[in-house]
Amino acid sequence: MFIRHSIFQNSLMSALLDGIYDGEMTISELLAKGNFGIGTFNGLDGEMIILDGTCYQLRGDGSARVADLDQQTPYAVATNFVPRILVDAPRGLGRDELSAFIDEVEPSANYMYAVRITGRFSEVTTRTVVKQTKPYPPMTEAVGSDKELHFSNVEGVIGGFRTPVYERGISVPGCHVHFIDAARESGGHVLDYTVDEAKIELCPSSDLELRLPLTQEFGRANLAPEDLDKQLHTTEVKTTGGH
Ligand SMILES: [Zn+2]
């Protein structure tokens, strides 16, 4: 049933939470690791989504642009997306219901999955980190000024990763997804959505290639804070209460 498949990751979610917003990996290098992925840019300058080998930068105002190959990332996850499991999403399901539906479709919760949901959504709520200036605040403070954006009856792609809880701190446990509309003009980090008509594609993964930044800031970061779960909830889930 399973075929060995690798996910690449640059740096750690716990480093991002600690305010390590500058990496030394270029988008050009990242695209060599996969044609699909999510992440952020140096200075926390917006959300990233990679689709079909194109890296998009989703800015604080919700606008999207194709990222330059020499931009850099402090945190990103990428893979070569092979859609091995395909199912239609039941109409009208919200984020948590669809997540439970996908749980049933997955052969095991103990592996990693790249997930791509393509189609029409009756609603999508996103937020996007805004570019930070030095000295960088921790991420729980940096996301305080984020604006939520609401899309209605929108076509597009929700893409990202479903990560087992044991990877907590390395990555974002649970479902971490970003949205970009079909015109590739706007999107952000997904807080909530409701499916109208969409297909779900899953790419199960067994291997993780982790690259740690060779920067002084990373070397000095506190990567095991006491309140890691709380920080993850504040920064990634925010108001939705889901996972
Ligand atoms: Zn995100």
C-alpha 177 to ligand 1 mean position (Å):
6
Separation of CA 174 and ligand 1 centre (Å): 12
pTM score, whole prediction: 0.95
- Ligand 1 centre and the CA of 167: distance in Å? 16
Residue 189 alpha carbon to ligand 1 centre in Å: 4
Residues 21-60: pLDDT tens digits? 999 999 999 999 999 999 999 999 999 999 999 999 999 8
In angstroms, the CA 34 to CA 7 distance is 8
How much distance in Å is there from the Cα of 104 to the middle of ligand 1?
Answer: 24
Can you say how many angstroms the Cα of residue 64 is from the centroid of all Cα atoms in its chain?
15
CA of 84 to the centre of ligand 1 (A): 24
Of the listed ranges 142-146, 170-174, 223-227, 235-239, the one predicted with least confidence: 235-239
pLDDT digits (tens, 9 = 90+) for 62-104: 999 999 999 999 999 999 999 999 999 999 999 999 999 999 9
CA of 49 to the centre of ligand 1 (A): 9
Spacing, Cα 190 to ligand 1 middle (Å): 7
User: In the CATH scheme, what architecture does the domain 6-236 have?
Assistant: 2-Layer Sandwich (3.30)
Tens-place pLDDT, residues 130-159: 999 999 999 999 988 788 999 999 999 999
3-state DSSP call for residue 112? strand
**How many helices (DSSP H) and strands (DSSP E) are in the chain?**
6, 14
Ligand 1 geometric centre to CA of 204 (Å): 20
Cα–chain-centroid distance for residue 223? 19
CA 214 to ligand 1 center in whole angstroms = 23
Give the 3-state secondary structure percentages of the chain, helix then strand then coil, rounded to 5: 20, 45, 35
- Residue 1 CA to ligand 1 center (angstroms) comes to 30
Q: What residue spans of 106-221 are helical by DSSP H?
A: 139-142, 216-220
- Concatenate the DSSP letters of all residues of 119-182 into one string: EEEEEEEEE------SSPPPHHHHGGGPPEEEEEEEEEEEEEEEE-GGGBTTB-SEEEEEEEET
Q: What is the mean pLDDT of residues 99-115?
A: 96
Strand 36-40, strand 72-73: pairing? unpaired
CA of 197 from ligand 1 middle (Å) equals 23
Neighbours of 122 (CB within 10 A): 16
Angle (nearest 5°) at CA 40 between 35 and 46: 115
Give 99's DSSP letter. H
Ligand 1 centroid, distance to 160 Cα (angstroms)? 9
Residue 242 confidence (pLDDT): 36
Report residue 133: phi and psi, to 5°: -115, 150
Question: What whole-number percentage of the chain has pLDDT above 90?
Answer: 91
Tell me the CA–centroid distance for residue 86 and ligand 1, in Å. Answer: 23
What ranges do the domains of the chain cover?
6-236
